[in-house]
Amino acid sequence: MRVEALLIESLLIYEIIVRCTEVVSILDEHSLDLISHSQAQTRRFGARLGELLQGGDVLCLAGELGAGKTCFAQGIGRGLGIEGPITSPSFTLINEYRQGQARLPFYHVDLYRLGEAKETLTLGLDEYFYGEGVCVVEWANRAPEALPAEHLWIELRYIDETRRALLMKAVGNRYEELLREFNEVASQQGNKVTRQRGNKASVASLPR
């Protein structure tokens, strides 16, 4: 019995050490994995990111219908200070939001109804990608060749009726720094790193 008790105690200690190591492990600079438990929380994630964005930043959103791309984009707009409704430009392809109280212009692009990738040439996307505002592209996977070489790629995945997974991948030094800043803000507001797998760090979100 004594040996069994010591063995169980050792296993528990080992598990605690492993968990602690995972919690304080250094984030991979290229990617971050989040879990959202509601639409409101998806918007909050977007708003936190929006508060950190600079002119010229490009965010590329991908994911199936209903994964939460527009919801996340709405949060980004809120983080920039955009007031009023933010809707997906499914038919117009591009919505521009320029408001006096906003920190930056917000360019919301939706490529869902894009017939062919070459159609992006007629949209003048470079004007938005390299302009003074922030550009968010929904369904970015429909025209990857039209995207800037450096960007933040955000893949949203359906888990169940309320939960969504968000995988952020930084392409370029600016976006690696942005991920670090975003994780610091998220950690301060109730989220913490829970594990790291290969080149991907996972974050568990506490407030809902």
Length of the chain measured in residues: 208
Enumerate residues 6+ apart whose C-beta is below 8 A from 140: 60, 61, 62, 111, 147, 153
Q: What is the DSSP letter of 98?
A: -
Distance (Å, rounded) from C-alpha 91 to C-alpha 111?
9
Taking a C-beta distance cutoff of 8 angstroms, is the pair 47, 79 a contact?
A: yes
Q: How many CB atoms sit inside 10 A of residue 186's CB?
A: 21
pLDDT for 176 equals 95
Residue 126: φ, ψ to 5°:
-60, -30
Band of the pLDDT at 185, cuts 50, 70, 90? confident
Which CATH homologous superfamily contains domain 27-205? Answer: P-loop containing nucleotide triphosphate hydrolases (3.40.50.300)
Mean pLDDT of the chain: 81
pLDDT for 128 equals 93
pTM comes to 0.77
Helix, strand, coil percentages, rounded to 5, for the chain = 40, 25, 35
> Per-residue pLDDT tens for 99-150?
989 999 999 999 988 766 666 766 888 999 999 999 999 999 998 989 999 9
Domain boundaries defined on the chain: 27-205
Tokens of residue 22, six digits:
């995972």
184 conformational bin, left if phi > 0, alpha if psi -120 to 50, beta if neither:
alpha
Looking at per-residue pLDDT, the higher value among 112 and 91 belongs to: 112
